[in-house]
């Protein structure tokens, strides 16, 4: 049989069904049919951002269902031995004019079966898509075009059909999954809008059937403003929006207060789910709402004689200024997945730091070579992939001259594929987190700390790039009555700077603006031009350094509660200082709100005067005495029983947290101190306390010493001298590693599987050594010595130095709270400021340094 006949398109020399069956026989055991729960990655490479849209297409392994670009599929073949892949390619086809002047495609009967995101309208007048699929057998690249139903074995045909018809791997799999992907509403394209003259004012909304002024929804067909139901998004309402749909049948509504230049929250009553509306700007314009400017006059039309408001959205995004697009390495944008701009802004800033570039992009070949069998579930692999995508320039190429001319001549042009979609990265880093795994807007500061936590738990060897942010804070607590003091240290990653609102330099203007705003709201007129409080940076720095009261302070000197004050200073200065302006507060309804202020952040920052000094001459330390335990007089009291009985700890929650990689004792403490309220609440406790010195120490409960840690032994906590669990050893050896290496890695990682794999990748030499008893003993001793050395190291990892810094980036937030709005990032590169606004990367003309939320400073060398 001439197998070479299959090379190329395979269409010139078709083979008989028997020949194809014979060709595939050796590989049949490796071809699987996707089962329920299997995720098929047919839209994106696991190691890069190659897709079926890319020049080389995408190869999907017919066993693991992972996708690989042309430059990575060979690695997967060599590592796993899997030979059969489905090659997927999407072609963009230019239409040609027909005899009647209409457009005809160059190819007829175009096939479209890939569930891909598109950058253009499939029904435009100039282009259409055609998808192509074929089986490819490695290492000789034999190709079998699909569909080939009559010639392929039944199992192969079923497997191919299942792969081609599979849905997005990021779509919600089950009711307990937090990973969601909003779908485009079937009503969006052909939505009927009644021309009834309704115009929506910019404020002062009220339900047309009751007096509610919150949780209001604008029906996109007739412009009715009605309240939602309480269970729709957690807000209260009387359900008038749903009643209106049942009465009139108008399917789509947008939530008022969520409309931004980047989108809005849209709900489909017919589809009973939150949806995407690609035509939302047009649908809102029907009612006089301009999404870009967010400014509506009383008649719904913009009056050119009215001075436009200088809103936060316009200033931060530099609207009204023609910005020059930037291309090349380090100038790659990121697609907004629906309120994912917080992630994009943070990651752009993170990968502008050389230490992160070296750790992930510099180690990319090693990380990819040692990645687990499922690289989509490995932090370091996904960080390396994202870093390479942003820094390589491969996904940020300027249009050719001919394309520029075409864009000038035509409104619609061939879709460009610049920028990357961080969907796989977001799915991994947000896995198990109730907020980041949702499609809701999040706090960029919280995501920054979440990322640092992941980097801490997934170190590459002994180095951790997040160390550049670590610093020690010295807290000095003083008893106001005895004047005695206590000094403690803690680790932190950012400096939280309070807003000194009382120091505003334009108080008179603020008072006048507030009066006008209230008058306009009462009269349902557009609000006056915004006036922001101007806060001097020096006042914020002064507020940071001032003492603060300590609530419920117990003085060990007085053996009683007393008044206490605390001051914070830097015990060390980090290599990179991250400064958060504390703009967010809580309203009376406990909804986060933002203070829209201007702070004159300096380009050069010197905080050497905030260096900690430690115990000073003449100061007397507070005695090291713990507060007494108050036991009720009645020994039969239930509180007494609570103190004397063993602690009640939900072991299922403990194990859920332990499986995430946290120390077992820390998990027990988290569950205990959060009152057994579940793994999610305990997880938040862990994040807040993981830097404390006794984080992994056994739980010690006053009044019942020794009981808390007893459960650890019952759960199988194993020391270094004991043998690791056999199932963990078997799992690592199934990946191709030697048994002795698996045992050593598990002992070195205290039986944490994820850390054990990291240990193996950072100690590749033992695999090549003999398995003699003496070699094994030497390796085991070295492993134990490394653990003891790390455990005995003094203090946390810090990079202390001068407290003089230079600003190189900042993240800005637009909107009224962390629950809504939009983030962009400004970075200083090659001597000029650049704005990163999702996919758009442009040279900045007016960087709004005074409106930032998180600022990034680098240390100035001494």
Active site residues: 341, 822
Task: Supply 450's token pair.
Answer: 């979440």
Query: Given CA atoms 327, 330, 331, 337 in this order, what sign does their dihedral have?
Result: positive
- CA atoms of 709 and 665, how far apart (whole Å): 7
**Rounded Cα distance, 4 and 168, in Å:** 35
Place of tokens 């039944």: 154
Strands 58-61, 84-97: parallel, antiparallel or unpaired by DSSP?
A: antiparallel
SS3 9: coil
Helices (H), 251-409: 280-285, 312-316, 341-350, 354-356, 364-369, 379-391, 401-409
What is the residue-wise DSSP string for 515-529? Answer: HHHHHHHHTT-PPPP
Beta bridge partners of 855: 579, 810
From CA 465, how far away is CA 359, in angstroms rounded? 6
Provide the pairing of β-strand 554-555 with 560-561. Answer: antiparallel
Which contacts (CB < 8 Å, 24+ apart) does range 735-744 have? 735/372, 735/373, 737/767, 738/766, 738/767, 738/771, 740/766, 740/771, 740/776, 740/779, 741/766, 741/767, 743/780, 744/776, 744/779, 744/780, 744/783
| Cα 449–Cα 450–Cα 454 angle in degrees, nearest 5 | 115
What is the rounded CA–CA span in Å between residue 464 and residue 380? 11
Q: Residue 264: how many CB atoms within 10 A of its CB?
A: 21
367 and 384 Cβ atoms separated by less than 8 Å: yes
Q: What angle do CA 726, 731, 735 make, to 5 degrees?
A: 140
Contacts of 189 (CB under 8 A, 6+ apart): 278, 279
Query: To 5 degrees, how large is the angle CA 323–CA 325–CA 329?
Result: 140
Contact 485, 496 (CB under 8 A): no
Residue 780 per-residue DSSP state: H
For residue 247, give both structure tokens: 């009465």
Sequence-distant (6+) residues with CB within 8 A of 258 are 264, 265, 820
| Secondary structure class of 468 (helix, strand, coil) | helix
Structure tokens at 425: 């990265």
Handedness of CA 679, 682, 688, 690 (dihedral sign): negative
Phi-psi region of 23 (alpha: psi -120 to 50; beta: other; left: phi over 0): alpha
Radius of gyration of the chain (CA): 31
Can you list the positions of beta strands (E) in 786-849? 804-814, 822-829, 832-837, 840-843
Phi/psi region, residue 494 (left: phi>0; alpha: psi -120 to 50; beta: rest), is beta
CA separation for the pair 639, 633 (Å, rounded) = 10
Cα separation, 843 vs 852, whole angstroms: 17
């Amino acid at each position: 049989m001439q197998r070479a006949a299959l090379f190329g398109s395979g269409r010139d020399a078709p083979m008989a069904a028997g020949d194809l069956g014979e060709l595939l026989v050796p590989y049949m055991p490796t071809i699987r049919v996707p089962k329920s729960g299997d995720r098929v990655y047919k839209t994106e490479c696991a190691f890069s951002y190659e897709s079926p849209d890319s020049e080389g297409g995408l190869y999907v392994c017919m066993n693991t269902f992972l996708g690989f670009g042309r430059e990575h599929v060979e690695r997967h073949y060599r590592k796993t031995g899997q030979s059969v892949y489905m090659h997927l390619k999407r072609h963009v086809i230019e239409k040609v004019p027909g005899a009647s002047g209409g457009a005809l495609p160059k190819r007829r009967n175009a096939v479209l079966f890939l569930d891909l995101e598109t950058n253009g309208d499939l029904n435009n007048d100039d282009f259409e898509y055609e998808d192509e699929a074929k089986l490819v057998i490695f290492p000789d690249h034999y190709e079998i075009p699909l569909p080939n139903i009559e010639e392929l074995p039944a199992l192969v045909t079923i497997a191919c059909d299942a792969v081609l018809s599979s849905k997005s791997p990021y779509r919600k799999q089950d009711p307990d999954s937090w990973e969601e992907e909003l779908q485009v509403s079937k009503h969006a394209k052909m939505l009927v809008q009644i021309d009834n003259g309704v115009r929506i004012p910019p404020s002062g909304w009220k339900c047309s059937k009751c007096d509610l002024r919150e949780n209001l929804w604008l029906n996109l067909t007739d412009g009715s403003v009605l309240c939602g139901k309480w269970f729709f998004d957690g807000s209260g309402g009387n359900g008038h929006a749903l009643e209106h749909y049942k009465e009139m049948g108008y399917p789509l509504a947008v939530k008022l207060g969520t409309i931004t230049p980047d989108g809005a929250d849209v709900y489909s009553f017919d589809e009973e789910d939150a949806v995407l509306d690609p035509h939302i700007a047009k649908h809102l314009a029907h009612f006089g709402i301009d999404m870009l400017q967010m400014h509506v006059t009383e008649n719904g039309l913009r009056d050119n004689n009215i001075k436009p408001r200088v809103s936060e959205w316009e200033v931060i995004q530099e609207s009204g200024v023609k910005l020059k697009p930037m291309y090349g390495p380090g100038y790659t944008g990121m697609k907004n997945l629906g309120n994912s701009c917080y992630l994009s802004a943070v990651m752009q800033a993170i990968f502008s730091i050389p230490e992160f570039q070296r750790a992930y992009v510099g180690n990319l070949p090693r990380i990819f070579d040692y990645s687990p069998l499922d690289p989509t579930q490995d932090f370091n692999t996904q960080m390396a992939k994202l870093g390479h995508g942003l820094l390589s320039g491969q996904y940020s190429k300027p249009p050719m001259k001919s394309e520029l001319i075409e864009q000038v001549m035509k409104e619609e042009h061939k879709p460009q594929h610049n920028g990357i979609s961080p969907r796989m990265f977001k799915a991994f880093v947000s896995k198990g987190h109730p907020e980041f795994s949702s499609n809701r807007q999040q706090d960029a500061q919280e995501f920054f700390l979440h990322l640092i936590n992941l980097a801490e738990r997934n170190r590459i060897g002994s180095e951790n790039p997040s160390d550049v942010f670590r610093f020690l804070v010295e807290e000095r607590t003083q008893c106001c009555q005895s004047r005695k003091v206590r000094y403690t240290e803690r680790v932190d990653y950012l400096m939280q700077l309070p807003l000194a609102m009382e120091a505003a330099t334009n108080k008179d203007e603020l008072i006048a603006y507030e009066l006008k705003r209230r008058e306009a709201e009462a009269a349902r007129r557009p609000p006056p031009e915004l006036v922001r409080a101007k806060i001097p940076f020096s006042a914020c720095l002064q507020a940071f350094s001032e003492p603060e009261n300590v609530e419920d302070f117990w003085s060990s000197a007085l053996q009683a509660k007393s008044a206490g004050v605390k001051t914070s200073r830097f015990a060390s200065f980090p290599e990179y200082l991250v400064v958060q302006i504390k703009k967010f507060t809580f309203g009376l309804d406990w909804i986060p709100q933002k203070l829209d202020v201007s702070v004159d952040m300096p380009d050069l920052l010197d905080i050497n005067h905030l260096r900690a000094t430690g115990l000073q001459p003449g100061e007397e330390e507070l005695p090291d005495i713990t507060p007494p335990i108050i036991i009720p007089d009645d020994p039969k009291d239930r509180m007494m029983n609570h103190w004397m009985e063993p602690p009640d700890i939900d072991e299922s929650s403990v194990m859920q947290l332990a499986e995430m990689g946290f120390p077992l004792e820390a998990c027990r403490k988290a569950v205990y101190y959060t009152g057994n309220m579940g793994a999610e609440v305990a997880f938040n406790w862990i994040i807040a306390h993981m830097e404390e010195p006794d984080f992994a120490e056994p739980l010690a409960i006053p009044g019942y010493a020794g009981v808390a840690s007893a459960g650890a032994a019952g759960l199988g906590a194993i020391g270094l001298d004991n043998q690791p669990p056999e199932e963990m050893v078997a799992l690592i050896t199934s990946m191709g590693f030697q048994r002795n290496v698996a045992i050593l890695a598990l002992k070195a990682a205290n039986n944490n599987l994820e850390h054990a794999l990291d240990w193996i990748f950072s100690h590749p030499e033992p695999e090549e050594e003999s398995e003699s008893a003496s070699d094994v003993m030497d390796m085991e001793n070295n492993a134990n010595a490394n653990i003891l050395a790390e455990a005995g190291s003094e203090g946390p990892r810090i990079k202390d130095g001068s407290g003089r810094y230079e600003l190189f980036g900042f993240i800005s937030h637009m909107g009224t709270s962390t629950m809504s709005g939009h983030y962009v990032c400004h970075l200083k590169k090659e001597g000029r400021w650049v704005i990163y606004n999702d996919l758009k990367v442009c040279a900045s003309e007016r960087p709004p340094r005074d409106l930032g939320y998180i600022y990034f400073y680098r240390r100035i060398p001494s």
